[in-house]
């Protein structure tokens, strides 16, 4: 439609659409995206004013190569000129086969451990988790353990918004209280100690609790599911890599499958290709999503060992019981292949290193703010944790005035910049985040503690 003012667009949205975790409200804070290029978004507010901002969120972990990347654009256009979609029941195509081969080649592996060789393509992260949980239950049934139907997770986790996925999210901070009759039955171990403050004693104490809980419930458990190394939406909590080896040990001891949800951590974000690689631990099942298509299209995948695939295929059901309409969408697979091609070029390692260093130094001044409880980074992820809940609307607006798009939650203002972010982009992000927190939440006047655009030396 022509002649529609941007103000009108936001009002029309508020009248008709739902947004993530949001009320249907005529006052919902919203910005219109007019364009997106590289790391930048051009936003327009409902006052009609434009703001150019750096996307500190990579559109929720996904846009790792930036907007309008020429290689991804070309891959999408090439596939569009061929065919955009065909059903995956009984049919196959080049982009899906290439993607499965690429994922298997990249997946964590270790000597003496079965590789992740079989791929199920799903349409979102939550669906990939659903499929992983179904597969684990089907595997146990096929292996003569039909009573093993529940899951062990660790507190503080996030695995998606569909029912089974919600059921393994943190039982307190997750959505369990809204659906009490539908999400019961899973078992939760404590959250491992924070990476920054963990000691051999606290890790051992955690391991002892994990052992006890696993032993007490193992007869009814199908699998352990965790986000390796970094819990994302459950609180941006990083924990020691050695905990992954302990989870592997407990799973093996009790005949449970180990599922790593790498939907947020996968494809380099934490400084290794997968978070599992920090510990050299190989899960039995792995879920990836978010950055898989470089943020172009919705696509996720579940990988498992050939042993699991064989057991389920040979079981009574004779199949893995899932089959989305848009499974293996060729357009999404083609862009994913282009994105993984860029990743395989290897430049991500230097990118993540550069961003990690920039976050570490750029967020350090936030430690001086009274409102701030903790500042931490892990790979190309930076977190400012406040003592109290973030005023999301005010901090978002303040950050936009400083040229940065962030989406805080709970008491966290955090960033995971696109890998193409320059040192100057990262500086803009960290300065904007710090300034926004200072302006909205701190009693200390902003100018005494906020770094300049060019950092402390300027």
By beta-carbon proximity to ligand PLP, the closer residue of 125 and 365 is 125
Instruction: Tell me if 385 contacts ligand PLP by CB under 6 A.
Output: no
159 touching ligand PLP, by CB under 6 A: yes
Using CB under 6 A as the binding rule, whether residue 232 contacts ligand PLP is answered as yes
In the annotation, is 284 catalytic?
no
Q: Tell me if residue 158 is catalytic.
A: yes
Cα–Cα dist 78/326, whole Å: 19
Residue 237 engages ligand PLP in binding (rule: CB under 6 A) = no
Q: How far is the CB of 29 from ligand PLP (least distance, A)?
A: 21
Total of chain residues touching ligand PLP, rule CB under 6 A: 16
What's the CA dihedral at 426, 353, 293, 10 to 10 degrees?
-10
- What span, in angstroms and rounded, lies between the C-alpha atoms of 276 and 285? 12
Closer to ligand PLP by Cβ: residue 95 or 232: 232
Catalytic pick from 123, 170, 261, 277?
Answer: 261
Nearest C-alpha neighbor of 120 from the set 372, 328, 310, 395: 328
By the rule CB under 6 A, 126 interacts with ligand PLP: yes
Q: Is 227 in the site for ligand PLP (CB under 6 A)?
A: yes
- Measuring CA to CA, which residue among 364, 345, 335 is closest to residue 420? 345
Residue 94 beta carbon to ligand PLP: minimum distance, rounded to whole angstroms: 25
Q: Which residues contact 1 (CB under 8 A, 6 or more apart)?
A: none
Closest residue to bound ligand PLP by CB? 125
Report the nearest approach of ligand PLP to the CB of residue 442 (Å): 29
- CB count in 10 Å sphere of residue 407: 17
Between the alpha carbon of residue 443 and those of residues 370, 437, 440, 447, the distances in Å are: 7, 10, 9, 11
Distance CA 79, CA 43 (A): 30
Mark whether 21 is an active-site residue: yes
State how far the Cα of 29 lies from the Cα of 414, in Å rounded to an integer: 19
Asked if residue 160 binds ligand PLP (CB under 6 A), the reply is: yes
Q: Which helix (H) or strand (E) holds 434?
A: helix 423-441
Region of 99 on the Ramachandran plot (φ > 0 left; ψ -120 to 50 alpha; else beta): alpha
Residue number, 264 or 343, with CB nearest to ligand PLP: 264
Q: How far is the CB of 201 from ligand PLP (least distance, A)?
A: 29
Strand pairing report for 381-386 and 412-415: antiparallel
Task: Rule CB under 6 A: say whether 289 interacts with ligand PLP.
Answer: yes
239 catalytic residue (yes or no): no
b/e map 250-270, b = 16+ CB within 10 Å: bbeebebbbbbbbbbbbbbbb
Nearer of residues 131 and 142 to ligand PLP, judged by Cβ: 131
Instruction: Note whether 264 binds ligand PLP by CB under 6 A.
Output: yes
CB of 258 to ligand PLP, least distance (A): 15
Q: How far is the CB of 336 from ligand PLP (least distance, A)?
A: 14
User: Contact residues for ligand PLP (CB under 6 A)?
Assistant: 124-126, 129, 158-160, 227, 232-233, 261, 263-264, 289-290, 300
Which residues are known catalytic residues?
21, 158, 261, 290
């Amino acid at each position: 439609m022509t002649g529609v003012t941007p103000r009108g667009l936001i009002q029309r949205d508020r009248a008709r659409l739902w947004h993530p975790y949001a009320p249907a409200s005529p006052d919902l804070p919203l910005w219109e995206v007019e364009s997106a290029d590289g790391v930048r978004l051009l936003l327009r507010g409902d006052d009609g004013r434009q703001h150019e901002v750096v996307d500190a969120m990579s559109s929720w972990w996904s846009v790792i190569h930036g907007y309008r990347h020429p290689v991804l654009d070309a891959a999408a256009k090439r596939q569009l000129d061929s065919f955009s979609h065909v059903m995956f029941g009984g049919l196959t195509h080049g982009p899906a086969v290439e993607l499965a081969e690429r994922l298997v080649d990249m997946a964590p592996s270790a000597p003496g451990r079965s590789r992740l060789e079989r791929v199920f393509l799903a349409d979102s992260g939550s669906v990939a988790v659903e499929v992983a949980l179904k597969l684990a239950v089907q595997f146990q049934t096929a292996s003569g353990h039909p009573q093993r139907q529940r899951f062990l997770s660790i507190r503080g986790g996030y695995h998606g918004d569909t029912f089974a996925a919600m059921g393994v999210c943190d039982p307190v901070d997750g959505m369990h209280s809204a659906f009490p009759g539908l999400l019961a039955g899973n078992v939760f171990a404590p959250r491992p100690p924070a990476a920054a403050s963990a000691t051999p004693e606290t890790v051992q104490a955690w391991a002892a609790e994990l052992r006890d809980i696993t032993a007490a419930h193992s007869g009814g458990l199908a699998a352990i599911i965790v986000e390796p190394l970094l819990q994302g939406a459950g609180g941006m909590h990083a924990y020691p890599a050695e905990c992954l080896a302990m989870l592997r040990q407990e799973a093996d001891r009790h005949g449970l499958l180990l599922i790593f949800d790498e939907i947020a951590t996968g494809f380099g974000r934490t400084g290794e290709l997968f978070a599992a690689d920090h510990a050299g631990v190989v899960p039995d099942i792995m879920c990836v999503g978010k950055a898989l298509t470089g943020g172009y299209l919705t696509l996720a995948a579940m990988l498992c060992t050939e042993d699991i695939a064989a057991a389920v295929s040979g079981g009574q059901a004779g199949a893995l019981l899932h089959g989305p309409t848009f499974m293996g969408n060729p357009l999404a697979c083609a862009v994913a292949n282009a994105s993984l091609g860029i990743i395989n070029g290897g430049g991500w390692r230097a990118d993540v290193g550069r961003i990690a260093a920039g976050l570490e130094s750029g967020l350090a001044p936030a430690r001086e703010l009274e409102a701030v409880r903790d500042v931490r980074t892990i790979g190309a992820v930076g977190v400012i944790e406040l003592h109290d809940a973030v005023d999301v609307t005010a901090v978002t607006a303040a950050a936009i005035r400083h040229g940065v798009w962030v989406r805080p939650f709970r008491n966290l203002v955090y960033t995971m910049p696109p890998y193409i972010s320059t040192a100057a982009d990262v500086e803009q992000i960290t300065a904007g985040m710090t300034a926004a927190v200072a302006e909205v939440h701190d009693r200390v006047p902003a100018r005494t503690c906020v770094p300049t655009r060019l950092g402390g030396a300027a």
